[in-house]
Amino acid sequence: MPERAELLVELLTEELPPRSLRALSEAFADAVGTALAKAGLAQDSARQAFATPRRLAVLVAAVLSVAKDRESELSGPSVKAPEQAVAGFARKAGVDVARLERRSTAKGEVYVAKVSVKGATLDAVLPGIVEDALKALPIPKLMRWGAGDAQFVRPVHGLVMLHGERVVRGTVLGVTASNRTQGHRFMGEGTIALRNAAEYERRLLDDGVIADFGARRAAIERQLAEAARRERGALGEHADLLDEVTALVEHPSVYLGRFDPAFLDVPQECLILTMRQNQKYFPLFDPAGRLQPKFLIVSNMQMADPRHIVSGNERVVRPRLEDARFFYDQDRKTRLEARVPQLAKVVYHGKLGSQLERVERIQLLSGRIARLLGADVALSERAAWLAKADLLTGMVGEFPELQGVMGRYYALHDGEPREVADAIEAHYRPRFAGDRLPDHPVGCVVALADKLDALQGLFGIGQVPTGDKDPFGLRRAALGVVRILVERGLPLSLDEVAGDEVKAFIFERARGYFQEQGYTANEVEAVLSLRPSRLDLVPKQLEAVRAFAGLPEAESLAAANKRIGNILKQAGSLAPAFDAALLSLPQEKDLAATFGRLRPQVDKSLSALDYTTALKALASLKAPVDAFFDKVMVMDKDPKVRDNRIGLLATLHATMNRIADLSKLAK
């Protein structure tokens, strides 16, 4: 009977890219496990991934040494083929012609041969499985090392392929498999000879290595929280840095470092970014969110007396903080407004001119939007003029992530109005999903102008996002426009500020946005298919549609609305008007009369933006509409009667669909 045991595959390397380590580990484990399952050697889901800075590994449970033989079908020639061809197929398949069966396929009826396929052996297929899994990893750039032809993201120095207690012989990337792995570089024995695959995680832990990425991350998080609590501080947002640091250490220990409080005169965003990005430290904050002169270090060493580690890190961070202070002091020697003309030397896009030309467009558009919204025009235009000036500062040159943030500090230093300074920072918002929006009307104006200019300009030169490619972040910009208009309740008509192609693109983002807010696809489509010019009113329209859809009359009216729409399409462009004197049948008179009574109420509700009341009022049309379609022949032989009835329906249709296309609710 084939042996069944745990299988360990481990690749020992030089330091792997920290930001992609977790993804590489999971992809490697998935690829190996899936391939083993496909070969009939393992269950697809029974596996555990491991990842440290110097290793990728996977432990797969209950792997067979030899897969079971299986039956397979080989497709052969058509049943109409010559006997000689059929006999040749049977001979090649190793079966008698009499044992061939017939199968119907898309190409007609063919012969098939049922054959027994010998099960794969682990020793024969594992090296190829591992090699293929490594080749399939999402690695943007490969490297070579030594004299061989092997390529990987980092040089490979060891390979473990252990099935139970047995080494599976083979070579991957020029390295021969063994049962020998490496412990902690400084705290362990060095080389570890594994007795079996199952002891892998425990043996590494005994030698100072937490091999499981998730367990190591949790250990760091726990130590960080304890250290912050001891210092009566808070960690702030740190999830991304936590993932990166987890990929940099094998045995994490957290220590407290300090820096000179005099550096707190520098904007804290600069110090935070310096510590997080350059040094991988975790800054500590007081309960109000202000930076403390303290930071947490995640070391790869556990020491009873960590003074040397702490003092070394404190020495390293000081020059970084000095650099930040130098940039801040130097940048403030030149006013933002004096930097603006220099933007003429910075290319925005080859076909859209310089950053100065873009600033001029944003300033004009900001003034226009401010007038439309009743915001302060002078402040909006001033903020737009200065919005990109900090791109030329030393601090933003060192840390591009601080664009806008530093502009705000420098504007305040220059004595600009606070609304202008705040808008310089806020005009980039929202920078990512869930990010805060601008708080002040001036910030909203410049943020809208910035995003609409990018959309209009890049669409104008054909730089439209396709598939997953969106190098200029236009989807994010369009969603930002949607969020600002909707969540800040701004009565801006898109017709005033965007072209048709850009509006269509914004509506596509709006569809996803409103569905994420909990509205159904039909509800959203009912409203957005009318291309409402004001997105700030869409939530009220959606609530009205939802309330209407819950009425007992809704389904029948939606179906009738769809029917009316089809009639109007066939009839062509007839005006929504009718002559009451030409109405002869009781049912059409009743429909016209009922509609006449409702219309003032509906118009009043619409004027008051009370969309729910307006749609609920239309529910009273159910009975007369049903009776109309039951008894009235719209396409009468008399052209005047026919056109009048179509005019009645067109009038009705225009009013019913002022809020939403109710036909989209029809099942």
For residue range 46-98, list pLDDT tens digits in order.
899 999 999 999 999 999 999 888 777 788 888 888 988 888 988 888 888 88
CA end-to-end distance (rounded Å), the chain: 59
8-state DSSP, 466: B
For residues 265 and 285, state if they share a domain: yes
**In 224-274, at which residue ranges do the beta strands (DSSP E only) sit?**
253-258
Considering the domain boundaries, does residue 567 fall inside one?
A: yes
Considering the domain boundaries, does residue 546 fall inside one?
A: no
pLDDT at 121 over 90: yes
Burial class (CB in 10 A: 0-12, 13-18, 19+), 109: exposed
pLDDT score, position 1: 39
pLDDT at 2 over 60: no
For residues 257 and 325, state if they share a domain: yes
pLDDT at 355 over 90: yes
Strand-strand pairing, 156-163 and 166-167: antiparallel
Own/partner pairs, 215-221, CB within 8 angstroms, 24+ separation: 216/52, 216/246, 216/249, 216/250, 216/252, 217/242, 217/243, 217/246, 219/252, 220/245, 220/246, 220/249, 220/252, 220/254, 220/298
pLDDT at 565 over 90: no
- Provide the number of structural domains found in the chain: 5
Contact 157, 145 (CB under 8 A): no
Radius of gyration of the chain measured on its C-alpha atoms: 35
Contact 59, 8 (CB under 8 A): yes
Q: State the residue range of the domain holding 228.
A: 215-331
Our measurement of the distance from residue 298's CA atom to the centroid of its chain's CA atoms, rounded to an integer in Å, reads 29
d(CA 580, CA 578): 6
For residues 54 and 84, state if they share a domain: no
Considering the domain boundaries, does residue 527 fall inside one?
A: yes
Mean pLDDT of 102-113: 86
d(CA 352, CA 40): 58
pLDDT at 11 over 90: yes
Q: Where are the alpha helices (DSSP H) in 148-250?
A: 200-206, 213-230, 239-246
* pLDDT band, very low/low/confident/very high, at 411 (cuts 50, 70, 90): very high
Residues 251-301 pLDDT 10s? 999 999 999 999 999 999 999 999 999 999 999 999 999 999 999 999 998
Residue type for 518, please? G
Considering the domain boundaries, does residue 346 fall inside one?
A: yes
Q: What is the dihedral of CA 479, 482, 484, 489, to 10 degrees?
A: -160
The pTM of the full predicted model, rounded to 2 decimals, is 0.81
In sequence order, what DSSP letters do the residues of 125-150 get, joined into one string?
A: HHHHHHHHHHHTS--S--EE-TTS--
For residues 238 and 325, state if they share a domain: yes
Residue 353, SS3 per DSSP: strand
Residues 585-636 pLDDT 10s? 999 999 999 999 999 999 999 999 899 998 888 888 889 989 998 988 988 8
Identify the domain boundary among 520, 541, 562: 541
Identify the domain boundary among 518, 541, 564: 541
For residues 395 and 471, state if they share a domain: yes
Q: How many residues does the structure list for the chain? A: 667
For residues 74 and 61, state if they share a domain: no
For residues 423 and 384, state if they share a domain: yes
Identify the domain boundary among 304, 331, 358: 331
For residues 20 and 166, state if they share a domain: yes
In 3D space, the residue among 38, 87, 88, 96 whose CA is nearest the CA of residue 67 turns out to be 38
Whole-Å CA distances, 333 to 270, 328, 339: 18, 9, 11
For residues 535 and 412, state if they share a domain: yes
Average pLDDT in the chain: 93
Residue 104, SS3 per DSSP: strand
pLDDT at 177 over 70: yes
Considering the domain boundaries, does residue 423 fall inside one?
A: yes
* pLDDT band, very low/low/confident/very high, at 187 (cuts 50, 70, 90): confident
For residues 498 and 393, state if they share a domain: yes
pLDDT score, position 466: 87
For residues 428 and 555, state if they share a domain: no
d(CA 159, CA 174): 10
For residues 41 and 58, state if they share a domain: yes
CATH of the domain at 452: 1.10.3210.10
Contact 344, 335 (CB under 8 A): no
